[in-house]
Structure 1
Amino acid sequence: MLPFRVVDRVKFIVERQLVKGAGFQLLVVGIFIGLISLVGGLLVVPQGGDFDDPGSAVWWAFLRLTDPGYLGDDVGTWQRFVSTLLTISGYVVFMGTLVAILTRWLIAKMADLERGLTPVTLKKHVVVLGWTPQTLPLLSDLLGSSGRMRRFLEKHDTQKLNLVVLSEEASAEQVHELRNEPGIGRRARQIILRSGSAIQPDALHRVACLDAAAVIVPSAVYEAGSLISSDVETVKALLSIAAQARYYQAPLPFVVAEIQDIRKLPVVERAYPGAVEVVAGNATISRLLVQNVLHPGLSEVYNELLTAGEGNEIYVRGGETVAGMSLGELAAGRPGVIILGLLRREGQGWDMRLAAHSGTRIEAEDRIVMLARNYSETDADPKAQVLPQISRGEAKPSVHGGGLKDRRILLLGWNRRVPSLMAEFASYGPGQPVLDIVSVVPVSEREQAISRYAAVKPLAVYSHIEADYMVEDELRRINPASYDTILLLGSDRLASGEEADARTMVGYLQLEDILAGAVRRPQLIMELSDPDNRHLLYGHQSEMLISPMILSHILAQVALRRELRLVLDELFTAGGAEIQFRDPDDYPLPASVDFQLLERILAGEGEIALGIFRNQPDSAGRHLSLNPPRREHLDIQPGDRLVVLCITDQAGQSPETGEIPPR
């Protein structure tokens, strides 16, 4: 082996110092400046002149090195030659290198600050762990919920809402997305971005989870077949928060966590001993899809109640200020509100009483469930006209409609939600549908996913068709017109929601072309992933569900009022209280009826009138009119249907255990 040369050794030592950062780089440059000054001073000492000693000569060299203005003061050829070399060296070493080091250090420091690596020093804020397709609509929901947010801030004794988002890599591009998101805009300054992963304890400390009023954990997006799933990341994040709380002996924050697999619910509850509400993403969307199959047109109800924007929402208010009143008296004093029922404390949980008797007395610990256009309408208004009280008796459980028995359903596409969707179909009792699943995913892979989800096959009758519904000839051979319902599901195997939705929408347009000449048109339900695509299909004839918008709204509203999750689970599962469409001919309605009279007539059946679903859309393409003014004449036309909250006796059973599924 050749011996190291002195030059190589010196270069290696200098390199090791330079890579240590700006401080060491400045030290090396300072040493070079000192050496150059020393050499320059020693070169002019033999000339004598104005130099009393070598120190004066070195100082002379240092001044020429750092300031070129001294160059004209020199006398003699040699002195001028040396000072010129020193001045040129000063431009390179002193000015160029020094400025370059300081500039690079400043840029690196600014980049670190922009990445969001500094821990926040906030309290009573809201933390969102993850930048997912749900994040932007979730933040918009939180900022837009003025009434709920005001009560939330009062509860936590704080004046201003601060939102902290943990992203894998915070960037200026995300800030731009925030500013361009409808519902956020200029309020993006209330949102703080921090870099990191929810499975890293340091990142959780960076967003001050332990000091937060609420922590929201939306499901991350992972490729199909990945060993790390979104549920694994969620559980790991909850374990880390709990471990930090034990280490610092701090109270656990309230957490709203989204999981994809509802079977992981016991794992989440074991991982996090604090207050936690779990929203099962796959199960929630599956429930809504099945309810939509049972009640065509119900997607408009979801899109109004479960997404932010104009229209009505479900509110849960405390009973402290109205304790002692009956539900009928409360409804009479709230002319813009429909009282859906109440929640009554029962041990550590709640007893759900939707469509309760109008004479039910409200207790201080009760939670009142209301349907209203905005939060302010749920407060008492002394100037508002008091309505005549409506007497509603006990609800009469009943089953309307044909159910799912022998209904032929065509499922176009495959994603991780399909096994959950099949289990939801099976939960509606013995009358099960006939399901055909069309996808390019191999049948063996699909069957493996179904068998992993449930030990017993969730549906008795289903079949796989290996085909690409994007190919017109293959889709025609399936004969879509022979089915009662067609579901188009978005793929989770593509790189983005935009690509998945592009495939879904092209498939829908091709399906419309095939069905154009059909004598009988099936019900079409389309699931989209990207909220920005909801306006692209103008004048479409299908029903549309935007999963991220629905899930983000549920996560945001449950974070502000945790009892809301119980209400949504009750409304959108088999059995119990359900929103249904009814034929007006089923009730003794007069020729002319307003909404107040409709409420009174349906109250005699123990049901709650919510609105009307028109057979013909209005100028905006909407069929649904929820919570219309009480004195508005309804002008019911042939084909119109009533929107009703009722109690059903159709309680489904879990396909795995035979037990009633939890709500």
Structure 2
Amino acid sequence: MAQQHTTSLRLRLRYRFDTLVAGGTAPLIGWLALGCLAVVVPASAVLVWADRAAPATLPGRLTAVWVTVGQTLKLGGAVGSPLYVLASVTLALVALLFVSTLVGLITTGINQRLMSLRRGHSTVLEAGHTVVLGWSDQIFPVVAELVAANANQRRSAIAVLAPKDKVDMEDEIATGLDDTGTRTGAGATRIICRSGPTTDPTVLARVSPQTAKAVLVLPPDGDRGDAQVVKTLLALDAALPRPRDAVVVAAVRDTRNHFTARLAAGPGGHVLCADEIIARLLVQTARQPGLSLVYQDLLDFAGDEFYTVAAAGLAGGTFGEALLAFTTSSVVGLLHPDGRVALNPDPGTKIGAGDRIVLVSEDDDTAVPEPAGPWVDEDAIVTARPRHRFAERLLLLGWNRRAPLVVEQLDEFVSAGTTLDVVALGDEATLRAAAEIAAARSRLDVAFHSGDITDPDVLAKLDVPAYDSVIVIGEPDRESAAPAAPPEAVPPAFAPESGRGTDDDRTLVTLLHLRAIGEAAGREIPLTTEMSDDANRLLAPARAGADFIVSGRLISLLMTQISESGYLAAVFEELFRAEGSEFYLRPVADYVRTDREVAFATLVESARRRRECAVGYRLRAEATTAPSYGVRLNPDKRQRVRFGEHDWVIVLAES
């Protein structure tokens, strides 16, 4: 009971104090003055009466008490006539008021400045930096790749603006990246975070986009991420006058929003459509196992990338001659003065004086002309064996927003009579509606089956090892994600997912069962898998060197590549469009003899005679060995290799 009484008294006293504080400044000063006097006056009297040297008379002691009180409260404690004492106290109070006000103003100003910095509301005064607008899981690969790209620069900066707490952003970036390179070194990159909505032109000024070399607009997570990208591009258009010096790169997920975003970005902006690119790479990789490793090497800044160099001494010659004009770089196309890109043009194409050579190289300073023709072994070049196209059996496990695009892309490349079995959740009515997607297919015979791809019994009935290729794409978690309104062309049960998109958890479970099926059958299942998060890819129960299309990371790599070199937008657009040339892995025995060592220049010459550009090879014996898994991109053309019958050459060619 005593504890309850003490607690009750403490609460009542606290309530009285809160009431006093809430009463305003004047009562608070009055009570504070009374409280000080109640302590200082008695304490001063004790000091005087306890002092042996104190005056003996009462007036003298009272005067001594006044002096002690005045000195303690900074009032001077002057003695003399009443008028003199009053004037002295008045001056002391004025001085005390002035000093206290000045200290308060300085403290308030510093606190406001610190709060402004903490909230990320100050302006970034940088030039030649990279601006990243928006926040999603893509921020981590984007920042990591930008840091890698700036590794050889003495001073660089990345400014991030997002509607998120500045300190939280800094902490997440610090913990989300293994090595950002922002601490030490000549090429250190500073990462600066600012907080605010990316759709407000006045707030955009906080990251100084007008002085930036590139601006990246990330699609936020969620169903309305594309709308946010469009609004951010409109705000950027209002904040930056045209023509712009900065390279503007954005990404949207849904193909239906691609054209709108391009309008908002303006003529100088570059907008990537994630769904189209991912669907195309899924199809390409399913038909060319190992191709995902080639794109991963090309798109990150750790290995070889696309560059352009002036034609210089090659002007007036042919593209075919340029293929063997570099020993440490692989020529793949031409960039014309009007911005058009021609990948793998006819070898007889003349190179203009204003053209630039598009090539794959380790760095821009390694693209030095040096003839590789002397290393060609004519006796090792063979005539290609005829390639017979045949009908295939394909299996698609799962369904999401990109699945109709995958079916459409497959229909463009497969031979007539090829069958595609789709297994996904859905009832009979849904499956009948889904059949409309396949109605316009001319080569592909599509059959939809209702089933849970994480159910081992469903997978066991499919005879998975009998398929020529298996594609696994993410499905939304229907228990945790609310259904979204489906587009007209997509059946309800296969409607666009909400939240972050594909469910990697279900994909991991499916891969686990597929691995068990492959082990039981004693063969490797040719598997291509779509993932949302690169961290989940590391957990995937699949063979080493398996093909994974990590959607978020892939788009992040493309955006950072274009932000560093704006002309790459035209290169990638040409590379990923339905028509034209693309990368293939083809049997090396169709190009050179496998009974001797040959220089890579011989492979380049053999590919040239087929109107192809050879850029590397893959060794089957190392296909399961990390980190390259047998892929050698842009090898030195003087390098001699003894290829096996089952090795591959990587070429840029038409289908």
Q: How far has the Cα of 1:35 moved from its partner?
A: 5.2
Q: Which of the two has higher C-alpha Rg? A: 2
Partner of 1:478: helix, strand, or coil? coil
Equivalences for residues 277-356 of structure 1 within 5 A: 277-309=270-302, 311-319=303-311, 327=319, 331-346=323-338, 349-356=339-346
Are the aligned partners of 1:331 and 1:337 in contact in 2 as well (CA < 8 Å)?
no
Find the aligned partners of 1:146 and 1:271 in 2 and give their Cα distance: 29
Partners of 1:647 and 1:323 in 2: CA distance: 25
User: Partners in 1 of 2:261 and 2:271 — Cα distance?
Assistant: 8
Q: 1:481 to 1:63 in 2, by over 3 A?
A: farther
1:376 matches 2:376: no
Structure 1 match to 2:239: 244
Distance 1:173 1:423, change over 3 A: same
User: Quick one: structure 1 residues 42 and 184, their matched pair in 2 at CA, closer, same or farther if it must change by over 3 Å?
Assistant: closer
Shift of 1:457: 8.4
CA contact (8 A) 1:37 1:61 kept: no
Distance 1:101 1:40, change over 3 A: farther
Contact 1:210/1:250, CA 8 A, preserved across alignment: no
Q: Mapping of 1:155-554 within 5 angstroms?
A: 160-172=155-167, 174-179=169-174, 181-187=177-183, 190-222=190-222, 226=223, 229-245=224-240, 253-309=246-302, 311-319=303-311, 327=319, 331-346=323-338, 349-357=339-347, 360-364=350-354, 366-379=355-368, 387-388=373-374, 407-428=392-413, 431=416, 433-440=418-425, 461-491=445-475, 493=477, 500-518=503-521, 522-537=525-540, 540=543, 542-554=546-558
Q: How far is the alpha carbon of 1:596 from its aligned partner?
A: 1.5
Q: 1:225-278 CA deviation, whole Å, 9 max, x = no partner? A: x4xx211001000111222346xx995743101011233233123223351011
**TM-score by structure 2 length?**
0.73
The structure 2 residue matched to 1:608, chosen from 613, 624, 643, is 613
Residue type of the alignment partner of 1:218? L
Question: Matches of 2:645 and 2:319 in 1, distance apart?
Answer: 33
TM-score relative to the length of structure 1:
0.72
Residue type matched to 1:214 in 2? Answer: A
Distance 2:203 2:386 in 1: 52
For the aligned residue pairs, the C-alpha RMSD in angstroms reads: 4.7
Measured against aligned partners, the alpha-carbon deviations of 1:385-409 in whole angstroms (never above 9, x if no partner) come to: 76549899xxxxx998666x85333
Aligned mates of 1:44, 1:139 — CA distance in 2 = 63
SS at match of 1:194: strand
Whole-angstrom distance in 2 between the partners of 1:294 and 1:416 = 21
- Answer with 554-563 or 429-438: which moved more: 429-438
Aligned residue in 2 for 1:80: none
Give, in angstroms, the shift of residue 138 of structure 1: 1.4
- Residue of structure 1 in register with 2:649 after alignment: 642
Correspondence 1:557 to 2:572: no
Answer whether contact 1:316 1:564 (CA < 8 A) is retained: no
Aligned 8 A contact 2:219 2:253 in 1 = yes
Assess if the C-alpha contact under 8 Å between 1:332 and 1:389 holds in 2.
no
Judge conservation of contact 2:375–2:601 (CA < 8 Å) in 1: no
Distance 1:40 1:387, change over 3 A: same
Identity of aligned residues (%): 26
1:136 maps to 140
Moved more, 466-475 or 171-180: 171-180
* Residue 78 (structure 1) aligns with: none
What is the distance in 2 between the residues matched to 1:197 and 1:516? 51
1:627 matched to 2:612? The reply is no
Distance 1:374 1:130, change over 3 A: same
Would the aligned equivalents of 2:134 and 2:217 in 1 still touch at CA under 8 Å? Answer: yes
Indicate whether 1:617 and 2:622 are aligned. yes
Unaligned runs of 5+ in 2: 1-14, 45-56, 78-102, 379-383, 482-498
CA 625–211 in structure 1, closer or farther in 2 if over 3 Å, else same: closer
- With over 3 angstroms needed to count, the CA separation of the structure-2 counterparts of 1:9 and 1:133, relative to structure 1, is closer
The CA distance in 2 between the partners of 1:66 and 1:272, in whole Å, is 65
Distance in 1 (CA, whole Å) between partners of 2:298 and 2:453 is 32
Q: Distance in 1 between matches of 2:313 and 2:59?
A: 97
Q: When the two structures are aligned, how many residues end up with a matched partner?
A: 572
Q: Counterpart of 1:628 in 2: which secondary structure?
A: coil
Distance 1:623 1:256 in 2: 33
Q: Deviations over 1:525-575 (max 9, x none)?
A: 122232234444587153222222221111001111122122223223333
Q: Structure 2: which amino acid aligns with 1:264? A: N
Range moving further from structure 2, 267-276 or 129-138:
267-276
Distance 2:457 2:594 in 1: 52
Q: Secondary structure at the match of 1:162?
A: strand
Change (3 A) 1:548 1:103: same
Q: Distance in 2 between matches of 1:537 and 1:455?
A: 34
Unaligned runs of 5+ residues in structure 1 are: 1-7, 18-24, 71-98, 151-158, 393-397, 649-663
Q: Say which SS state the counterpart of residue 606 (structure 1) adopts.
A: coil
